Structure 1
């Protein structure tokens, strides 16, 4: 009788271990698939920009998905001038939009300015954005009421252009 109880415990532990390993493996697989789809096209964009334009040393590629979709990256030209570049992902005319980094406020400076105006907020992320023909900084955070907020500042950091606030869906 005692031996059958031990077998039951042993088989239960084996089944739980196998299910846990399957769950971990599936989670890793899903992460890789999602990350690959998030970064799809980044290598093509880098190769295309470096071979077809005067921009070299393309780095920090990320996607911006707003009204129009862009690959956003930093690159330097042959004169070693650093630029923030937006490459539209749709349309026949995929003209590059380049902004000299000297004409824009740095990420660190815009975060410092933002944090001094919102000391109870929890910072989430900052990224370049492009809407309505204007380069912007998109700052996402949670405010004191735990709402998710997206602020769009001009790229030079001089003005708040737009703010979206989303209430928490579930308490």
Structure 2
């Protein structure tokens, strides 16, 4: 009788271990699929920009998904001047929106300016955005009430253009 109890425990442990390994494997697979979808088209965008324009050394590609969707990246022109570029993902006319990086507030300086105004906030991310024909900085963070907040500042850092605040759905 004691031996059958030991087998039951052994088979239960093996089943739990197999389920745990399957869960870990599925989590890794799911992460890879989500990340591949998030970065879909980045390589094509980089190749298209480097071969069809005067911009080279394309780096730091990310997506911006607002009212319109863009691939956002930094690249250098033939004179090695750094540019912030927005490539629209929709429409027949996909004209580049090019901004001289000398005309924008640097990312680090923008975060420093923001944090000096919100010392109790927990910073999440900063990224370039483009809405209503205007380049912006999108800063996401959690405020003192633990709300998720998205602030949109002018690209030169002079003014807050828009703010969205979201309550937690699940405390």
Provide the TM-score with structure 1 as the length reference: 0.99
Counterpart of 2:36 in 1: which secondary structure?
helix
The aligned counterpart of 1:10 is 10
Distance 2:26 2:142 in 1: 31
The aligned counterpart of 1:50 is 50
Asked if 1:129 corresponds to 2:140, the answer is no
Tell me the matched-pair count.
Answer: 171
Provide the TM-score with structure 2 as the length reference: 0.99
CA shift for structure 1 position 33: 0.6
Distance 2:14 2:168 in 1: 41
Distance 1:170 1:108 in 2: 32
The aligned counterpart of 1:147 is 147
Counterpart of 2:51 in 1: which secondary structure?
helix
Unaligned runs of 5+ in 2: none
CA shift for structure 1 position 170: 2.4
What is the alpha-carbon root mean square deviation over aligned residues?
Answer: 0.6
Asked if 1:80 corresponds to 2:72, the answer is no
Counterpart of 2:109 in 1: which secondary structure?
helix
Asked if 1:38 corresponds to 2:38, the answer is yes
Distance 1:2 1:91 in 2: 72
Distance 2:49 2:62 in 1: 14
CA offsets 1:94-145 (integer angstroms, 9 cap, x no match): 0000111110000100000000000000000000000000000000000001
CA shift for structure 1 position 78: 0.6
Asked if 1:64 corresponds to 2:67, the answer is no
The aligned counterpart of 2:165 is 165
CA offsets 1:39-79 (integer angstroms, 9 cap, x no match): 00000000000000000000000000000000000000010
Counterpart of 2:157 in 1: which secondary structure?
coil
Distance 2:24 2:166 in 1: 33
